[in-house]
Amino acid sequence: MDEDATLTQMAQAWLNLALGGDKLQEAYYIFQELTDKYGVTALLLNSQSVCYIGQCEYKKAEITLQDALEKDSNDIDSLVNSLFISVHMKVSADVTKRQLNMLRDTYPNSDFIETYNKKEAEFDSLSQAYQ
């Protein structure tokens, strides 16, 4: 296995993300090396933001996600992670709702939105029992 191959490096970084803990910093460095080698992309910036999210560094994650969205304003992973960050940073409900509606309008058939809609319907159904 060629440890310097891009695919190997990406797989190692994603594995480190899944493992969490101290491995998050290693994942971040791998994504940074790939950025240095191939240039800044929304995918690499989003991946770095996930490292920050795993370390509860939400402000750094937000800044990195803003950079990712400047590269590709329609990147669904960056949009979903921005929504996640908004909730954790206690951004106003209006902003969070606007982000969610934008995702619903732009990616109505995405796994995230389909799952969200199912959970929302399930919540509504269960809450009817207590009204």
In the structure, what pLDDT confidence band is assigned to residue 38 with cuts at 50, 70 and 90? very high
Q: Is it the case that residue 4 has pLDDT exceeding 80? A: no
Which segments within the chain are labelled E, that is strand? Answer: none
- pLDDT tens figures, 64-111: 999 999 999 999 999 999 999 998 888 889 999 999 999 999 999 999
**Domain range 6-128, CATH architecture:** Alpha Horseshoe (1.25)
Q: How far apart are CA 1 and CA 58, in angstroms?
A: 35
Buried b / exposed e across 2-41, counting CB within 10 Å, b at 16+?
A: eeeeeeebbeebeebbeeeeebbebbbebbeebbeeeeeb
Query: Average pLDDT in the 14-19 region?
Result: 96
In the structure, what pLDDT confidence band is assigned to residue 1 with cuts at 50, 70 and 90? low
